[in-house]
Amino acid sequence: MAAENVNTREVSYPGKACTIRAYVAEPAHTGHQHPAVIVVQEWWGLDDHIKDVTRRLAGEHYFAIAPDLYSRQGNQVTKDPNIAAQLMSGLDHKDGIDDLLATINWLKAQDSVRASHTGVIGFCMGGSYAMALPCVTQDIKAAAPFYGEIPPDEQLKNLACPVFYAYGENDGWIQRKDVERLANALRRFDKRGEVKIYPGCSHGFFNDTRPDVYSAADAQDAWQRVLKLFDENLKH
């Protein structure tokens, strides 16, 4: 679907602690309900890259929404890693989960959304939330975390949906042993999912606005796997 067939808008809705702002992209010709995908930001905030991913999903016939998890902190966006680190550390994990649950509730109230078929994708900080969210709610039907933190095994036991987890071999943030623990937990707990380690890739390899880490071929491979996961679990 071409970009001209996608509509975008900003929305806001109540969270536990504040009004949450979000960026929405959806297919332009809405005569029926679309499955939904929540896009969770990196530590930089709700920036142009995350908005682009949201539009790309709308181009694949999803109602895509990127909630601003820094709504509690004045909706800040930065390219400075020091400021990004402060913003991320200023967001309590439970508060981030609460704001994502509020996003799910908002989706359930939208006529153009098939909210019973909702997925999540996230990167870096957002990858941690995309991995954790389906461990705390049954409402997520597919999850695609990119290089996020892995919840403890006692939480992974509650994983409610299939997962595609993408990880770069040279990631300096997420420990390889935790990624291998996830792969083992999926087998032990009989959960559907794939953990793919991309050789030679660094943390953030999907982000095409960062030439220092972006790997085009690997990002494309990961994207096709995400679309396959979502197609099989959200569109049928």
Q: Which residues are catalytic?
A: 124, 171, 203
The answer to whether the CB of 54 falls within 8 A of the CB of 68 is no
- Measured from the Cβ of residue 196, the count of other Cβ atoms closer than 10 Å reads 14
CA distance 148 to 145: 6
Place of tokens 């550390």: 89
> Residue 177 corresponds to which tokens in the numbers above?
């042993």
**Which residues are within 8 A (CB) of 230 and not within 5 positions of it... i.e. 6 or more apart?**
35, 37, 60, 62, 119, 142, 144
